Amino acid sequence: MKEVFVDGVGMTKFGKFPNKTLVDLMAEAASLAIKDSNSQDVQAIFIGAQNPEEFTGEANIAAALADKLELTGIPASRIETASSSGASVIEAAFYAVASGRFERVLVVAGEKMTHLPTPKVTKILAEVIESYERNSGASMVALAAMVTQAYAHYAKLSHRKLEQVLCKIAVKNHKNGAKNPYAQFQKEIDDDTYFNSRIISYPLRLFDCAPITDGAAALVLTSHRTDVKISGMGHGTDTIAVRHRVHLHHFNAARIAAREAYKMANRSPSEIQFAEIHDAFTCFEIIGAEDLGLLDEGKGWRAVEKGYTEIDGKIPINPSGGLKARGHPVGASGLAQAVEIVWQMREKVAKERQIKRNDIAVLHSIGGMSNNNVVIIFEKPGTPHSTGFCFEREIVDAKKHKKDPIRVGREGILDAYTILTVVPEGFPSPLVLGLVSVPSGHRILARAVNPVTFRVGERVFLSKEEDTFYFMKASAMEKALFSLKKALRKVKLSMRWKLR
């Protein structure tokens, strides 16, 4: 393979831009990246976007952008891997340059979302969720909330401690965002702001979730040597359904991607000096850092507590403000992470948020509910190798995933649950969803009979009506009440039937 380097980079400010189209934003970022390059010549265009068709009503954006940039003639392709599209587009372009076919290609990613009402955006985003889980009322934040709970259980974090840690991440990323003129939110928040924000899907609050954003980012990749090299490229997938995974508290797809990236770069996590991690939800920042091997497994939260992930910490994470504060135009985020890494390495643009040790960095991007993840390693050419390849995280064999059971017994163990207050259309609020392990070794997604709080790891009773599983407290009283309700419903139904 030919070596691949980053030439110019550029991005639009992230935020709300009602008067600009997606192609306008992409063209703006692209022009900045080309202007920032050693040569204005590019031989192909690679575009990343999650869902321009439904967000903007416009398709065929690869050709549209080539036209807008007056680069009509050269190849233009779009790459899509849900929310990691901004990183996987770098991957596709990387191979095109590494093959020797092109010497210089333009890579652009963008999304335009803020012009739509939030429920519509949420609905479009939810299309990446496996259909049974989506039809059961699970939104992205609901699934993230359950992953967060599973992580807390694994790491033995009390609810109070979990909240403090998540708050710390949100506060840190807003602090970094305040130093980033390209960020959607350029103001710091304090603990009160975090704790006063409403619960969206317990235990996640509004300030645990990345916002809805417009924006685009771009870079030029080249086979000619520059001051930043892409040394490692990894990409991994996982089951589309969250319930089909062996572990809920980490992301197998990220670990596979990380292993491949470290292997190609002949590096180990200990050599990484800073990271841009996909914090679509605060807890994903810790899980991501653990998956990448940057923080100890189940103990990443301690590093957060101690401030190790701050700009001046041992291993700075998301100096840009992350998805939380820079904003999250879904298909653009991965590429915006790359732009931040390059800016940090060049020590010109980052200014107030400049990281001192900036020779090797890692980019971590999550696609969908973490089933299409990309990890990319950037380094300054010539940075010495202190370890060689080494990566010690457990990676589960995909074949071990159990799909849906034919029969489910009468009880199970609650692996995680969430109380949604913001529910998809057609569902009652609050809606309590749980992931329950059953004795056969399968895991099911179920709905709580009553909107009460549970304890992760507790035994629950199960029931099924039509296609929906229900779970309830494993107490005789609850069970009796549920049976009674069920019986009453049947009586009502049969009466209605007779009345016809």
Q: Give the residues lining the site for a second copy (CB under 8 A).
A: 1-2, 44, 50-51, 53-54, 57-60, 62-64, 66-67, 70-82, 88, 91-92, 95-96, 98-101, 124, 127-131, 233, 235-241, 244, 252-253, 256, 367-368, 371-372, 397-399, 401
Nearest approach, Cβ of residue 324 and a second copy (Å): 22
Question: What is the rounded distance in angstroms from the CA atom of residue 301 to the CA atom of residue 180?
Answer: 25
Nearest approach, Cβ of residue 129 and a second copy (Å): 8
Nearest approach, Cβ of residue 98 and a second copy (Å): 4
Of the two residues 176 and 252, which places its CB atom closer to a second copy in the complex? 252
Of the two residues 62 and 433, which places its CB atom closer to a second copy in the complex? 62
Question: CB–CB of 414/434 below 8 Å?
Answer: yes
Of the two residues 118 and 450, which places its CB atom closer to a second copy in the complex? 118
Nearest approach, Cβ of residue 403 and a second copy (Å): 9
Report helix, strand or coil for 340.
helix
Of the two residues 44 and 304, which places its CB atom closer to a second copy in the complex? 44
Q: Report the C-alpha dihedral over residues 437, 442, 447, 449, rounded to 10 degrees.
A: -60
Of the two residues 4 and 449, which places its CB atom closer to a second copy in the complex? 4
Largest Cα span, the chain:
83
Extract the tokens encoding 49. 């976007």
Indicate the burial class of 219 (C-beta count within 10 angstroms; 0-12, 13-18, 19 or more): buried
Q: How many CA atoms lie within 13 A of 157 on its CB side?
A: 24
- The DSSP line for 367-430 is -TTTTEEEEEEEE-TTPPPSS-S--------GGG-----S---SEEEEEEEEEESS--TTS-SS
Nearest approach, Cβ of residue 233 and a second copy (Å): 8
Nearest approach, Cβ of residue 4 and a second copy (Å): 9
Of the two residues 63 and 413, which places its CB atom closer to a second copy in the complex? 63
Nearest approach, Cβ of residue 203 and a second copy (Å): 25
Pairing of β 443-448 and β 372-379: unpaired
Of the two residues 349 and 395, which places its CB atom closer to a second copy in the complex? 395
